[in-house]
Structure 1
């Protein structure tokens, strides 16, 4: 993405532009709007205030057909998106950061800015990153540069079995290692292990769905408790050859409105393990991020991935 400011000057923008009271009035009217259904209220943050005050009231029109996609114009006015709480909620959760309405495009896509001043659009086709700044994002629209889709991506690891461990112990102990790594890097704070157990190859007994709260205590003690209780349940149910899925479940609220900031943003990342009892036995675990690259390249997530890679190498 380029940042050719000429197309912005044509609409009346210039470096240091500040609409002052007009921009602040638009922000205050937007903030005072409560969601039409369900909870929700806009929270203004420095990047939103600065971006709106700089671009508010401008209407941009493309002068070229488009370099990669059709060029489109836009109008900057946060009030054009003040009733879109639910529309932006999913993107906000995926990014782990707050969003604020910025305006709309000529094709009626919603524009929003985040705490890092990145510009996004949301339309019937999905969510898109337009640029790392409002100036870059608007320029991309006007020049018809292809935006980056914000879409789920997964990273997957395959592990050989732990020596002298059965399927249950292997899966639970590996899950607890991931709980520790993801918590240490503030990526995912797991409070429950959710287990889905089924007979191998889908035959036999009805699957079991179990939950094990992770109470305070040493990781080794927690793992031993879960392993002991799970083995007892499986023995009572008559399971022998089995397949086991483990999901690391976190509390529902992922963004702490009181302490969230651009620097402490934590994108949503989900973790699951799947194991099949066989010879050789292989444990597979995956991390899924609804925000894809934007999540995996974020500082603390990237650090967690590096540590997970080191752990998997140590298992080989």
Structure 2
């Protein structure tokens, strides 16, 4: 089975029970699980001070593990991007290591892609996904297993009925994206990939639709969205509408508005985000995307 290295590049681990459950489940699956020496460190809200977390990323890259998996997201990677050991990370990826995470890990994915061109993954976290109180989601687990076996070649999902009429075909386009808040915060920095003709995927948690629209507007006005071949909307979860104030303004309103602003197709329903059912997505990989009726399929082949 696989050698999995657990590290904490962002917020401190608060839910120690979920952390332990995640370790136990991975070990029960037969994996060799190595835990970074600072995985449970704490400094203010972070998993150790900046130097500690940078060093943890370096140790992950040097571990020889098949997968380097974050313990959790939160916040902390953006502030240490200038200090990341990009050459060491690229060497590890070239040697077969897969860095996996989501949420705040979006900053790592985009920076590594912008600085090295290497592929890293948006996917599960130890505590949130493997350490959840119920059994891990079957789809997430299957996608993770495929990654370990080097068999994952794509993903498919079903579109809403309203999107069933438009056929979409995109070929050989770089896949990139992740958490919308983190991605937008990188705009205008050296860590924001300059992707043209790409497939951009987005998700977020706890953000009201008007905030989602505001961030999309920033990407739109900066010219980023007009340069993409497709925009994929993942799961936008854990927000509350205020009916008396919103008066019908909802996430669907934002999606409809976005569709009027760009020529590229905007496809929704991608099973990815701060939800239990999530696929793994290779940031920086070239993909083919097709939708026919309500069926959407994205393929990246064997990496």
Q: TM-score, normalised by structure 1?
A: 0.26
Relative CO higher for 1 or 2, CA cutoff 8 Å, sep ≥ 6? 2
Give TM-score, length-normalised by structure 2.
0.27
Larger radius of gyration: 1
